[in-house]
Amino acid sequence: MAGSAADRRTRLTVLVALAANLVIAAAKTVGGLASGSPALLSEAAHSVADSLNEVFLLAALRRSRRPADARHPFGYGKERFFWALLAAVGIFVMGGCFSFYQGLSALRRDHHDESPEGYTAGLIVLGVAFVAEATSLTRALHQARGEKRGSLDPALRTVIAEDSTAVLGVTLAMAGMSLRLATGSVVWEAMASLGIGLLLVYVAFRLGRDARDQLIGEAVDPELRRDLVGFLMRQSEIDNVAELLTMRLGMDSVLVAARIDLAPGIDSERVEEVSMRIREAMADRWPQADQVFLDVTNAPPRAGL
């Protein structure tokens, strides 16, 4: 139930970001075509990429909650990481590469026919976009407040990264356009476009790296691992925890595999009972640990006992 409530909040956050980006993308595109501003066109591509990525994130929220089946016995939780990776690729290709193209082509084009009136309208569009992106970012940050980084939903993390980048990108575009109007030099706008491209490539790299780590199989954070080991060691039937392996299977699903030595003197007929009790106790304390596997062995009698 907690996971469903969190999903509803994240879905609303993504929908707010999607609505804002669709309106902003249309406004930036019209303004960019009217003014011929490379910085504004770069920002338009940025918003289009963000809009497509939000569609990916909505798909991730829906598909990751499918129940486990024979083909995927551990469920579909890693769908979120896959779609987050696609979103990172979208930011890189549609946003970063197009911004680089706009910046480089701006240095080669003849801009004598561009009017100040078009640039003034473009700056107004960017001002409205700044307010909308900042509003969306504020909502995403409010939802993320108090959550640990390791447990932050990839969809929510992507929205925060997109909105943060959008606010910085709009600021760069406004600076480039303003300096272009003041000096008449297109170099300022070209530099703004290249700066937006570098920003998007960096964000895409960070998001893609995180998604890759989670898809490969990322362990739980060290604090949770220490708690799991400590819990096992406090059980009277356990003599030693020889090995503990963990892997995140989704936002609220963790695989725990432990090799434990039972204390001397425990009858072999009680092994299954002890194992079941420990698994149930772990699930009660950590509901996300829904896949617990214990490799149980009897420790040899201690010398002198």
pLDDT in tens, 260-277: 988 887 777 788 888 889
Residue 73: phi and psi, rounded to 5, are -65, -20
147 in Cβ contact with 13 (< 8 Å): no
Q: Assign 304 a pLDDT band (cuts: 50, 70, 90).
A: very low
Q: Which residue has the higher pLDDT, 282 or 20?
A: 282
pLDDT in tens, 169-188: 889 988 988 888 888 788 88
d(CA 121, CA 22): 19
Q: To which residue do tokens 């289009």 refer? A: 48
pLDDT at 110 over 70: no
**Looking at residues 240-253, what average pLDDT do you find?**
89
For 58-79, write each residue's pLDDT tens digit: 888 888 888 888 888 888 888 8
Per-residue pLDDT for 231 more than 90? yes
Quick check: 99 pLDDT over 50?
yes
**Do residues 125 and 31 make contact, with C-beta atoms less than 8 angstroms apart?**
yes
